[in-house]
Structure 1
Amino acid sequence: MKKFLLVLAFVPAFSFAQNHESNLRKIYDAELSSGHTYENLRYLCKVVGNRLAGSPGAAASVEWTKQLMESYDFDTVFLQPVMVPHWERGGKDIVKITNSVKHGVVELNALALGNTQGTGAKGLVGQVIEVKSIPELQALGEKVKGKIVFFNGPMDPRMIDSFQAYGGANAQRSSGAAEASKLGAIGTLVRSLSNTINDIPHTGNQRYNPDFPKIPALAISTADAELLSQLLAEQSDLKVYLESHGEMKTEKLSYNVIGEIRGTEKPEEIIAVGGHLDSWDVGEGAHDDGAGCMQAIEVLRLYKELGWKPKRTLRAVMWMNEENGLRGGQEYARVAKAKGEKHIAAIESDSGGFLPIGFSSTGTDAQRGKLASWADLLRPYQLWNLQKPGGGADIGPLRDQGPILIGLLPDSQRYFYYHHTEADVFEAVDQRELELGAAAMAALVYLIEQEGI
């Protein structure tokens, strides 16, 4: 009798697993044979273009993604208002070495950092002083007064995880100008955050200290950072001319764009899946983060194509203003809390449209344990890494409301070639890798909406 009961107990669980295997296969088959992700990304990049918060491109992307989700007949599609900063580059960014004994005048490949107050047409000239980190800057004290500080700390090439290397070097870009201004510097140059040596400058956000002057902050390419460092070693009185035209304008009204399929059994439990709709004003924002947005919309579209009705409510969220303010993610979390919404999971794709290898996560031991319990179901699709901690910038503000925060984890070795550059265009994205990422997100959403977490 005991043996008979054990067999009965085993059969439903076995059938349940078989059903999951079959449905994951259906997701991948549908996406890889007739997915919409790649064509949707093409339209976003080539027709809408780059989408800096507050720009006409950002406004166009809001309207287009709303219409796109409506065309897929999601249960609800709506706009969530959010006020965003509005920064404009305003003109060509110029950096020139003016007095090289060896080369004379040398123009460097440069881009002003986001939210930077420009020099205006007159520009400025100053002697350059090189540092590798903010602590090194602080140790110099008043020696930097009246000078242009050159932050030349590279991403650590020994780090296998390129995002870890990025995190180790990011402070000089995000806080360098604020710290240099405290010591009387008149401007900053920053080595682009890339793990390759090339001629492409990388922009990115930086924040001022409101108690000190807003000095211009520009990035130069890694190749030009190597050149400038070499010339400084040979000539300590090297001077550089900076010209930029950035200006912070009045804040603008924008929107998070949200599409929803209502759950049939536990509609109050929400699974949000998304990316950030804004991008920088150079390139097309293909990897960062057009790819994530189109993958998120595709998750819900696949449900419609397959005729599935989820047990729990699914939301595709296009967050606005991740790049230079994070206003969209903050507003989404604020509204969710005010409404008493119950998010059980939030999944973000913001690491590029490259080959997916797993998911990072932040949550309780029970939540992460549930994610790990699906390892055997996900491994056939080469989603082997479920151990890395993490989530995403836009879903971070939801953390105190209790959901597990999950990030799609692609192979990131090529990401920082394109990140925040003119090279981040549609042609840089591989169709199959992008579609595999969309299928991976849909597979995980399916497991969560079926079983909870």
Structure 2
Amino acid sequence: MKKTFIFIITFFVLYFTASSQNKDSLTLRKIYDHYLTKSLCYSNLEYLTTKIGGRLSGSPQAEQAVQWAKKAMYAAGADTVILQPCMVPHWVRGQEEQCSFNSPKLKSETTLKCTALGSSVDTGPKGINAEVIEVQSFEDLEKLGEKNIKGKIVFYNVFFDQRKIRSGSAYGETVKFRAKGASYAAKYGALGCLVRSMTSVADDEPHTGNMYYDTTLSKIKIPAVALSYKAAEILHETLLKDPKLLLYLETHCQTLPDEPSFNVVGQINGTQKSNEFIIAGGHLDSWDNGQGAHDDGTGVVQCIEILSAFKQLGIKPKHNIRAVAFMNEENGLAGGTAYAKFAKEKNEKHLAALEADAGGYTPRGFLIDTTNGLYNLAVKWESLFHPYLVDRFEPEGGGADLIALEKLGVPCIGFEPDTQRYFDIHHTAADTFDKVNKRELELSGAAIASLLFLIDSYY
């Protein structure tokens, strides 16, 4: 009798588990069908990138993007759209940068492609003309000391480690030279700072990105620019032949007073949990030199489409579902900080937060925080994603805009597409709409929406 009872219980458990998985599988298929046949991801991205363009925080384009996102979220079916205020930095690049070197020894003068790093100061109208000292690490600076560096321009010639399978790992190792290189160089009396662009592709497109001045290292702020891959190669090869060449650098950057801006938050109201939230977002701002397509227009439009998919498919979530367009990820994280502050003040309970900020490429998987058991639950859904070639569920998680939420104990998720091509165009003028593949964009969006559906159903 006991064995019969156990058999019956086991049968019903397996039956209901299989039934539930079949139901979920059908819903995921509907979500994918919506993204692949009805979504406005691609047309929304086209408008955001080609009609508005680069959207650096504090710029008129960033303000236009806020108003566009509000309209797009309502059009997608949001029950309400919230504008969360935040004060953002207003850095302006100014007229085009100039960089060239003169080598009397080699009887040559060469112009180098470069771009000022975000938050950099300017050189002044007369520019800087000085010798160059090449280094590969901060330790190199320390060994050289002030006597060898003072009055010169420091050139951080640091390559991506091509052995890294994840391109983001190589980026993470080199980006510190962009971020704090100027302050380390100024500590030893340097007049300016050059960095090799954070990329492994050998082209002539310089990559910008934010830097900041660490006043614990030096109170003096010196201008900082990135050289294109090819420009860095030319400078390196020429320095081997003529270490005394003179390099001219001219930038016209300005940091203006902070500007008011907003996160844009579109919400579908939950049917059961009125103060519990599941969110997915990307950052609305971008660098000024391109159109901000892969970084991060794709993430924004993919998450806005979640609202449309749920509404059109009749999915009535238990919890409030939010699509968030964060402001100021690129040079300050004011939006992410403001969102967490808003959530704390309103005593909102966030069950999970996802950020899509790695480009609109083919979906690969999710990096999921282990906090509150989210990873252990989500990994059980992995087989549901196999038909869509999404097969990586790993216990990591997070995103730059989610740092403040993570500190509040919210389980965070990073969406991971195939990023092998991402750093070819990251932070460059080449990050344009035409680089985005419509089908890849939609497949990734469907994966994100599917994961949010499952979290809402079972978490």
Do the structures match in fold with TM over 0.5?
yes
Letter in 2 for 1:197: A
Structure 1 residues without counterparts, runs of 5 or longer: none
8 Å contact kept, 2:363–2:390:
yes
Q: Which residue of 1 aligns with 2:415?
A: 408
- Cα displacement (A) at 1:224: 1.0
The one of 433, 436, 454 aligned to 1:447: 454
Q: Which residue of 2 aligns with 1:99?
A: 103
In 2 relative to 1, CA 5–329 (structure 1 residues): closer, same or farther, beyond 3 Å? same
2:267 and 2:183 mapped to 1: Cα distance?
Answer: 41
Identity of aligned residues (%): 45
- Cα displacement (A) at 1:71: 2.0
8 Å contact kept, 1:344–1:402:
no
Structure 2 residues without counterparts, runs of 5 or longer: none
Q: Which residue of 1 aligns with 2:310?
A: 303
1:412 and 1:213 mapped to 2: Cα distance?
Answer: 37
Q: Which residue of 1 aligns with 2:386?
A: 379
Letter in 2 for 1:30: H
Q: Which residue of 2 aligns with 1:140?
A: 144
The one of 299, 324, 331 aligned to 2:331: 324
- 265-274 vs 89-98, which deviates more? 265-274
2:347 and 2:162 mapped to 1: Cα distance?
Answer: 45
The one of 410, 427, 443 aligned to 1:436: 443
Q: Which residue of 2 aligns with 1:344?
A: 351
8 Å contact kept, 2:194–2:227:
yes
- 11-20 vs 224-233, which deviates more? 11-20
Aligned length: 452
8 Å contact kept, 2:77–2:307:
no
Q: Which residue of 1 aligns with 2:72?
A: 68
RMSD: 1.2
1:250 and 2:254 matched: no
- Cα displacement (A) at 1:364: 2.5
> What do the CA deviations read for 1:325-370 (whole angstroms, capped 9, x no partner)?
0110011111111221111100000000000100112233722111
Q: Which residue of 2 aligns with 1:235?
A: 242
The one of 123, 126, 133 aligned to 2:130: 126
In 2 relative to 1, CA 412–103 (structure 1 residues): closer, same or farther, beyond 3 Å? farther
The one of 42, 45, 54 aligned to 2:46: 42
Letter in 2 for 1:278: D
1:6 and 1:447 mapped to 2: Cα distance?
Answer: 24
In the superposition, the TM-score normalised over structure 1's length comes to 0.98
Letter in 2 for 1:166: Y
In 2 relative to 1, CA 158–144 (structure 1 residues): closer, same or farther, beyond 3 Å? same
Q: Residue 271 of structure 2: SS of its match in structure 1?
A: coil
Letter in 1 for 2:333: L
1:130 and 1:278 mapped to 2: Cα distance?
Answer: 33
1:103 and 1:64 mapped to 2: Cα distance?
Answer: 53
8 Å contact kept, 2:367–2:415:
yes
Q: Residue 71 of structure 2: SS of its match in structure 1?
A: helix
Letter in 1 for 2:457: Q
1:100 and 1:259 mapped to 2: Cα distance?
Answer: 61
8 Å contact kept, 1:258–1:315:
yes
In 2 relative to 1, CA 365–271 (structure 1 residues): closer, same or farther, beyond 3 Å? closer
- Cα displacement (A) at 1:10: 2.7
Q: Which residue of 2 aligns with 1:292?
A: 299
> What do the CA deviations read for 1:290-313 (whole angstroms, capped 9, x no partner)?
000001101111111112111111
- Cα displacement (A) at 1:101: 3.3
Q: Residue 271 of structure 1: SS of its match in structure 2?
A: strand
